[in-house]
Amino acid sequence: MKPETRERVEAAIRELGYRPNRSARSLVRSRTESIGVISMGGPGANLLAVVMRGVFAEAAAAGLSVTVANVEFEPGADDARRLVDEAFDRLVSEGVDGMLLVSASTDVEDAIRSKVHELPIVLVFGEAMAGAGIVTVDPEHGGSLAGHHLLGLGHTVIAHVGGPADRFDARGREAGFRAALAERGLTPAAVERGDWSSDSGYRAGLTLRERHDITAVFVANDEMALGLLHALAEAGRRVPEEVSVVGYDDNPDAAHYRPPLTTVRQDLAEIGRRSVRALTAALETGAGASVTLEPELVVRASTRPVSPA
């Protein structure tokens, strides 16, 4: 189209207030202008809702509709692949142009591995996979931030409450924390493992509160940190006077814990927005983008310098 012709067309569009017809456009481009999302239920679903707000906002701005398929299963469950296959096939049958997989589960990523040749896929919180894009927050850097913060306050006997062993994010946060301690020739004083729920953090706290040599705990998410705080309070262990606690996520309630929680913040809404952008880029170019955001430490009242012996 000649420049002068384009200018006349664009002027007419502005004058008439024309809005493209998505149905007609999809026929021309062989696109439905819709994307699918496979998401995981279970503990931490409140944070998934924040990610999805970003997804829906960015999709709306791009003129895309969103169809969501939620999948929930126990870690290591035999039916993981079947459930993911069913969700994938349902979204494909509805004509989505591409798909977001919002999960850090190794089971889920394994289940999707054979699908990447069928349509553009972006992994959200997963690990790099040939043929797929990825958008995530660097979990090792986040774990390192927590470890260095506690070390900087003089703590050397530090425990960890980790997330599920089958989760990439839990593994990364623990690895970063361990690496920070290793720089000082230290290892975690104890490691308990939960399932992201506050109940599992409470159970971990029942054990850790008996260890009076431990002066700090890094917890792999804020919900488990809430349970840990409950267990410590029951035993009369004061936070942060006796035990400093660092969480992870900066969930919407973390600033209102007792005491307000020091935590590692990841911008979940931005992750949702970036994921849609990566998928739309993949739809245009056929190449999956790789985007890694950096978390940040938010210091509140649950940590303080270690008390003198």
The reported pTM is 0.86
Angle at 277 between CA 35 and CA 52, to 5 degrees: 60
Give the residue-averaged pLDDT of 52-67: 96
Residue with more model confidence, 309 or 52:
52
What is the token pair recorded at 232?
Answer: 């410590």
Instruction: Name the strands in the sheet holding 216-219, side by side, starting at the edge strand that comes first in the sequence.
Output: 191-193, 158-162, 216-219, 244-249, 262-265, 296-298
Q: How confident is the model at residue 174 (pLDDT cuts 50, 70, 90)?
A: very high
Q: CA-to-CA distance for 277 and 295, rounded, in angstroms?
A: 20
Q: CA-to-CA distance for 105 and 72, rounded, in angstroms?
A: 11
At 11 the pLDDT is 53
Q: What is the CA radius of gyration of the chain?
A: 23
Confidence check: pLDDT of 271 > 60 = yes
Residue 156 backbone dihedrals phi, psi, to 5 degrees? -130, -20
**Equal CATH topology for 30-137+267-294 and 139-265:** yes
Q: Which fold has domain 30-137+267-294?
A: Rossmann fold (3.40.50)
Query: SS3 string of 122-187?
Result: EEECCCCCCCCEEEEECHHHHHHHHHHHHHHCCCCCEEEEECCCCEHHHHHHHHHHHHHHHCCCCC
Of 130-134, 168-172, 225-229, 243-247, least confident by mean pLDDT is: 130-134
What is the token pair recorded at 268?
Answer: 């979940």
Domain 139-265 sits in CATH 3.40.50.2300: yes
Map out the domains of the chain as residue ranges: 30-137+267-294, 139-265
